[in-house]
Amino acid sequence: MGLILGSFLNVCIYRIPRGESIISPPSYCPNCRERINWRDNIPILSYILLKGKCRKCNDKIPVSYLAVEFLSAFILCINYIVFGTNKDFFLFSILFLSLLAVAFIDFEKGIIPNKIIVFGVLIGLIFSISGGLSAFKASLIGSLLGGFMLYLIRLIGNKFLKQESMGWGDVKLGCMVGIFLGVKLTLISIYFAFIISMFFGLYLIIKKKSLSIRPIPLGTFISVGVYICVFYGEKIYNHYLNLFT
């Protein structure tokens, strides 16, 4: 199931930023625009058999397609091992797969599509409402805090740098993440996102001597931070508190 969803995510990652339908037409080669036969559309296996090239035009298939399929399968397997088939399995599977699409789109295009944010917000609200009033309040507060924190950082960054320091898509993503994680884990995930992005920025400085060549895709690092926090956020938080007690 993870591999199949990963194949569908590849369609979303390619088409959504381009304003294309994710349903029609069927899968096609971005280079020659020829429809892809079913036997060439089997996750991972087809990529290996075709040696990463289109059967019709021999153009290279981006290795990111293989990565998305593998990561989707990995995410669902880990979620099943940790959560079984309860509510959390479905909740976090939807969150992680949505963030996987966000991570690849933001890294490649530097944008976070509203369609994914709206989808995530709706799913998060549905799950929180089903958990009762207290769960809904926690999600709502987490969403407001996540969006506000990133908006505040954006505001300070714009004034300090005298230019656009962060896109609105990152702020919206903070709102979406907050619905799923609540206050505590949302703050920790944002913290991790900036730590990881700092190392990425240092890498760019060392490699290209300038950050202006490659903007930092914060949405990608927020996605990584969320994944870390869902599994280790509570342990990290408790360990941090123990340093002072």
Retrieve residue 128's tokens: 């929180």
| DSSP H stretches of helix in the chain | 2-15, 45-49, 63-83, 87-109, 114-130, 133-161, 168-208, 218-242
| Pure H helices in 29-86 | 45-49, 63-83
Of 157 and 165, the structure prediction assigns the larger pLDDT to 157
DSSP state of 111: -
pLDDT category at 206 given cuts 50, 70, 90 is: confident
d(CA 21, CA 18): 9
76-129 pLDDT, tens digit per residue, is: 999 999 999 899 999 999 999 999 999 999 999 999 999 999 999 999 999 999
Write down the mean pLDDT value for the chain. 90
pLDDT band at 159 (very low <50, low <70, confident <90, very high): confident
Q: Which token pair is 245?
A: 């007690």
At 38 the pLDDT is: 86
- Distance separating alpha carbons of residues 142 and 150, to the nearest angstrom: 12
- What is the C-alpha radius of gyration for the chain, rounded to an integer number of angstroms? 19
pLDDT band at 21 (very low <50, low <70, confident <90, very high): very high
Bridge partners of 35, per DSSP, are 28
Q: Which residues 6+ apart lie within 8 Å of 6 measured at CB?
A: 43, 68, 69, 70, 71, 72, 73
What is the per-residue pLDDT for 104? 96
Q: What is the pLDDT of residue 214?
A: 60
Q: Of 229, 219, 233, 136, which Cα lies nearest the Cα of 174? A: 219
d(CA 183, CA 226): 12
- Residue holding tokens 């890294």? 107
Rounded CA-CA distance 69/181 in Å is 25
pTM for the full model? 0.91
What is the reported pLDDT for 230?
93
